[in-house]
């Protein structure tokens, strides 16, 4: 695998692409990193968008990874799903994306609420490895999951949260995920990802959080190697759930004395190196 080549660094910036799914929906996604590198599909958080890739693009270029970051259905520029769509249907949407990008084999990454979708993606026989960072593991019992049981509550919360963040600036968004001081570039990337994730409102956020309260069959039996990175001070996604997954299914777990976003910032190169070296 090539690393640190000048051409790879020049290709780190994200570009937005789209593909048409078999049922006619549009799936938007970003590509970046090393265009000739090992393909890795990164799953954004809840809420989130393809702009999550801005936090990974430079690391991907340095590690020889071709980064693909989709907007899941209802986020960013991707069409909302049909009423009977469930998170398990993501496997079929992802398969269409891999076809569109001519991916024969590659890895997947899941951050926060993207974790369950990354694990679900492991069922595709083109996926070699799964990397989890600060991941939610269903069935989850956290504040947003409990709130999602009340109709329209999550939508109302994020309408207010998005409006407040638009006025207060990027620091208001970053503060939801970490208590550390971050660079202006990171702060702006996190805020842009958050706002783009809410471009169509918060219906996707409510749908995903509601699903996180249920059992996701097969998540503890991924047919490929899985490794997780998680902070001991993570207040957004419980470490205990990831520990239980590791104990039950042999997932490799690396813990760090940091929080939700801090784990991603500190371990993104290590994460992409491991996933891309399959």
The answer to whether position 265 is within a domain reads: yes
Q: CA-CA distance, 83 to 76, in Å (whole number)?
A: 18
Query: What's the pLDDT score for residue 220?
Result: 58
Query: What's the pLDDT score for residue 12?
Result: 61
Q: Would the pLDDT of 98 be above 50?
A: yes
Lookup result for tokens 């049922």: 23
Q: Would the pLDDT of 9 be above 70?
A: no
User: What total number of domains does the chain contain?
Assistant: 1
The DSSP output letter for 89 is G
Q: The tokens of 169 are what?
A: 């600036």
- Label residue 13 by pLDDT band (50, 70, 90): confident
**What range defines the domain where residue 125 resides?**
6-139+215-276
Query: What's the pLDDT score for residue 123?
Result: 87
- Up-side HSE of residue 117: CA atoms within 13 Å toward CB? 28
Rg of the chain over all Cα atoms, to the nearest angstrom: 17
Q: Which residues contact 256 (CB under 8 A, 6 or more apart)?
A: 229, 230, 231, 232, 262, 263, 266, 267
- The number of beta carbons lying within 10 Å of the beta carbon of residue 15 is 12
Query: What's the pLDDT score for residue 166?
Result: 92
Q: Would the pLDDT of 10 be above 50?
A: no
pLDDT tens digit sequence for 209-236:
999 999 886 665 678 999 999 999 999 9
Mean of the per-residue pLDDT values for the chain? Answer: 92
pLDDT tens digit sequence for 102-144:
999 999 999 999 999 999 999 899 999 999 999 999 999 888 9
47 within 8 A of 197, measured Cβ to Cβ: yes
Q: Is the dihedral of CA 101, 208, 181, 228 positive or negative?
A: negative
The answer to whether position 202 is within a domain reads: no
The answer to whether position 156 is within a domain reads: no
The answer to whether position 69 is within a domain reads: yes
Q: Is 220 helix (H, G, I), strand (E, B) or coil?
A: helix
Q: Would the pLDDT of 157 be above 60?
A: yes
Query: What's the pLDDT score for residue 218?
Result: 61
pLDDT tens digit sequence for 18-38:
999 999 999 999 999 999 999
Q: What is the CATH number of the domain that holds 239?
A: 3.40.50.1820
230 within 8 A of 136, measured Cβ to Cβ: no
Give the CA angle between residues 101, 104, 110 to the nearest 5°.
70
pLDDT tens digit sequence for 59-69:
999 999 999 99
The answer to whether position 231 is within a domain reads: yes
The answer to whether position 15 is within a domain reads: yes
State pTM to two decimals: 0.94
- Up-side HSE of residue 23: CA atoms within 13 Å toward CB? 12
The answer to whether position 258 is within a domain reads: yes
Q: Would the pLDDT of 4 be above 70?
A: no
The answer to whether position 271 is within a domain reads: yes
- Up-side HSE of residue 211: CA atoms within 13 Å toward CB? 22
**H or E stretch covering 153:** helix 153-168
């Amino acid at each position: 695998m090539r690393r640190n080549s000048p051409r790879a660094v020049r290709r780190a910036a994200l570009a937005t692409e789209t593909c048409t799914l078999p049922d006619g929906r549009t799936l938007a996604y970003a590509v970046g990193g090393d265009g000739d590198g090992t393909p890795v599909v990164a799953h954004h958080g809840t809420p989130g968008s393809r702009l999550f890739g801005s936090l990974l693009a430079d690391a991907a270029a340095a590690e020889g990874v071709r980064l693909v970051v989709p907007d899941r259905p209802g986020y960013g520029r991707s069409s909302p799903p049909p009423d009977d769509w469930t998170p398990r249907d993501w496997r079929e949407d992802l398969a269409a994306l891999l076809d569109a990008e001519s991916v024969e084999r590659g890895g997947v990454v899941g951050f926060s609420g993207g974790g369950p979708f990354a694990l679900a993606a492991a069922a595709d026989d083109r996926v070699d490895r799964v990397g989890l960072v600060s991941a939610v593991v269903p069935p989850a019992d956290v504040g947003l999951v409990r709130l999602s049981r009340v109709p329209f509550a999550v939508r109302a919360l994020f309408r207010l949260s998005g409006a407040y963040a638009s006025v207060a600036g990027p620091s208001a968004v970053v503060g939801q995920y970490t208590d550390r001081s971050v660079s202006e570039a990171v702060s702006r990337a996190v805020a842009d990802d958050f706002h783009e994730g809410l471009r169509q409102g918060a219906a996707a956020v409510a749908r995903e959080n509601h699903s996180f309260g249920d059992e996701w069959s097969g998540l503890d039996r991924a047919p490929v190697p899985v490794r997780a990175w998680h902070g001991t001070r993570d207040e957004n996604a419980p470490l205990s759930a990831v520990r239980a997954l590791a104990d039950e299914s042999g997932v490799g777990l690396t813990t760090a004395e940091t929080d939700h976003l801090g784990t991603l910032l500190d371990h993104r190169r290590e994460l992409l190196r491991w996933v891309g070296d399959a």
